[in-house]
Amino acid sequence: MSEGQPDGEEPRKLVLPPKAGRKLALFGAPLLLVAGLAAGYGHYTDPGPLQDEKTFVIPHGNNARVTKALQDDGILSPTWASGTFFRIAAFLTHRDGQIHAAELQFPARVSVAHTLEILRHGKPVSHQLTVPEGLTALRITAILNKAPALSGELPTLAEGSVFPQTISYVWGTSRQTLAEKLQKMMAAKLAAAWDGRNVEALDGLIQSPQELLVLASLIERETAVPSERPMVARVFLNRLKLGMRLQTDPSVIYGLSNGAGTLDAPLTHEDLQTPGPYNTYLQAGLPPGPICSPGSTSLDAAAHPADGKMLYFVATGTGGHNFAETLADQDKNIRAYRAHLSATPQNQN
């Protein structure tokens, strides 16, 4: 019998709280009681000071640095006693798991117990980055450099090496790592398109995966209508077979813009006469490299072109293109396109 225990009474038993607080009751209850009361916490699971649900970045470092970050972010009270209470709680429950540096979501009024649970087992906040089809390496670089929560420098991207995709990542992911994932996707997609290509339809005109990538990039920039892409591929292949110049405006624009892929004004006749390796009005064959990152449908179209003898196409003015086998039919389609433009009211500034 303990000294001071009344006769006939059973000693009072210590009731253990759930898992996260069991060590606190066994070994740290006196310390936590003093620190908790001083900090304004009655219990390990009492609501904390955070007013609204928020996302915070938990830094790398020891418990002292993590504690300060939590106090600075308003998850813990800024008092010394509150910080001490949290560090003791983290120490006494360290077997429950390691505290991770990550971007995490915390609910309003999150308790110390819940805070530690989130720090140890919470799922990091997921960010998404989209690389649209048809962008040049310069524009993709700008997207990656502006993306929030990424870290580090981005190496120079080879044109056409990045697959257009929406990709998820977490805070602290390096730009290089994300770019390499997209590059691996492109390599896999290109290899699959090359391995599954219609050899007969390509007629020996496309000799390597790289040439297939170049052709796909031209197709990507010529039409946004997926169903037209195999037909555009056929036009280019028919022209290559006959030794005709491809005369594709997007390639000229790519060269004139130094890889940006856009110009501030429409192409002029003088532009088309400007020498350069990407001027397909002056240079025969494919341009020396891709002019953008093509998507899956353009890669598939390059590998599986449509049948036909089409040599020309021109915009309809309504989002698609008219295709023609003869120059006479092409001239007719051009006249129809111009008539459509003349009949369409222009926006007034």
Letter for the amino acid at 111?
Answer: S
For position 192, what pLDDT does the model report?
Answer: 98
Predicted confidence band at 2 (pLDDT cuts at 50, 70, 90)?
very low
Q: Are 111 and 46 in contact (CB under 8 A)?
A: yes
| C-alpha span between 86 and 116 (Å, rounded) | 9
For position 290, what pLDDT does the model report?
Answer: 98
Q: What are phi and psi of 141, to 5 degrees?
A: -60, -40
| C-alpha span between 226 and 102 (Å, rounded) | 40
Highest mean pLDDT (candidates 60-69, 81-90, 222-231): 222-231
Q: Are 128 and 167 in contact (CB under 8 A)?
A: yes
Degrees, nearest 5: CA angle 249-253-254: 115
Closest CA to 137 of 216, 248, 217, 194: 217
* C-alpha dihedral sign at 96, 101, 104, 110: positive
Degrees, nearest 5: CA angle 233-239-243: 145
Q: 134 — alpha (psi -120 to 50), left (phi > 0) or beta? A: left
Summarize pLDDT for 6-15 with one digit per residue, the tens.
444 443 333 3
For position 63, what pLDDT does the model report?
Answer: 84
Q: How many CB atoms lie within 10 A of CB 342?
A: 8
Q: Which residues contact 33 (CB under 8 A, 6 or more apart)?
A: none
Predicted confidence band at 345 (pLDDT cuts at 50, 70, 90)?
low
- pLDDT above 90 coverage of the chain, percent: 72
| C-alpha span between 293 and 286 (Å, rounded) | 16
For position 162, what pLDDT does the model report?
Answer: 98
Strand pairing category for 126-130 and 54-57: unpaired
Say if residue 75's pLDDT is above 60: yes
Three-state SS letters, 9-51: CCCCCCCCCCHHHHHHHHHHHHHHHHHHHHHCCCCCCCCCCCC
For position 271, what pLDDT does the model report?
Answer: 94
Record the tokens describing residue 174, joined without a space: 């390096």
Letter for the amino acid at 34?
Answer: V
pTM over 0.85: no
Q: Is 4 helix (H, G, I), strand (E, B) or coil?
A: coil
Long-range contact pairs involving 70-73 (C-beta distance under 8 Å, separation at least 24): 70/115
| C-alpha span between 183 and 33 (Å, rounded) | 55
Q: CA dist 334 to 70, 117, 222, 244, 324, Å?
A: 66, 67, 16, 19, 11
Summarize pLDDT for 306-335 with one digit per residue, the tens.
999 999 999 988 889 999 999 999 999 999
Highest mean pLDDT (candidates 64-73, 99-108, 225-234, 328-337): 225-234
First to last CA, the chain: 96
Q: Which residues contact 315 (CB under 8 A, 6 or more apart)?
A: 321, 337
Summarize pLDDT for 210-245 with one digit per residue, the tens.
999 999 999 999 999 999 999 999 999 999 999 999
For position 341, what pLDDT does the model report?
Answer: 83
Predicted confidence band at 62 (pLDDT cuts at 50, 70, 90)?
confident
